[in-house]
Structure 1
Amino acid sequence: MKEIYLGGGCFWGMEAYFKRVKGILDTKVGYGNSCVLNPSYRDVCSGETGAVEALYVKYDENVMPLERILYHFFQNINPTTLNRQGNDIGTQYRSGIYYIDEKDLPIINDYLLKESKKYSNKIVTEVKKMENFYPAEEYHQSYLEKNPEGYCHNLGAILDLKKTEDYKEV
């Protein structure tokens, strides 16, 4: 089993998407790389924590290798917008790939190099080691399951996922 963290704007939609990907064993939304211990949602939204809204992903690399995780990640973001995804604006909504295992870094960098050829603008998705992660408040966990009418920038990506062999029912 492997773990990675992904920052893709609104963590609600990222979680809803990745829960539907084969090989994903667990997800949790939270705040990553904060300079404040155990920040609240309000703290993170202030922009003073340096935290990113992130999705923790535990996965079976034999079913869903990291390259395929990254493929799905890029289906959910615009990697050329800084501190913004859809209508969500702020440093906490920046896109990022946050690794734990140093062995993942060459895979991530190779993938970004290939992905960058698809865009005329520079990819600004940050790649960093995950230094700390604080789970978000309980009401944020599985938010779109609890609130199916909730907004998120990537709802179209979830519909597109259903058309692929990587889709699983939740």
Structure 2
Amino acid sequence: MGMQLVESELYPNQLGSRGDDYVTKPFLPLEVVARIRVHLRRGTIYSSSVLPSEKVFDYGIFSLNRTTGQFHVNHEEVSCPAKEFELLHYFCSHPNRVFTAQQLYEQVWGNMVQGDEKTVVIDISRLRRKLETNPSNPRIIVTIRGIGYKFIPPYGE
């Protein structure tokens, strides 16, 4: 849903075919601003009804807020690179499901080429060091041998 402003003298019939709105000359800048705000408001209403409502995950020992981009472990903000953040968000959005490294790569990074599974393994290792009490014996992001990885929400820990 985009907004296209069309000058009516040049394109008098474009509103029905391609444009969402138009402004005739001469126009007041405040009118343009008001029209843009209306379209933005419509876009916000549309996107909030389409996008998942779960933007904040709080598991007690850690929380992830996609809206603010904050990641807290034991109530302290932790630095988290963008792809690690997106990977953890993907796990939180799909708890207790097993994913192969290839599936995770495709969902978080996009198209996969040979050897990209190592990227997933490295980022999971980094997340475990941030999340787990004992990263060598993970309880939150676990390895399902021969299959992939599973996020187990740490409720009540």
Shorter-chain TM band: under 0.3
Higher RCO, 1 vs 2 (CA within 8 Å, ≥6 residues apart) = 1
Query: Whose helix fraction is larger, Structure 1's or Structure 2's?
Result: 2
Greater CA radius of gyration, 1 or 2? 2
Normalized per residue, the structure richer in strand is: 1
Q: What is the TM-score when the length of structure 2 is the normalising length?
A: 0.27
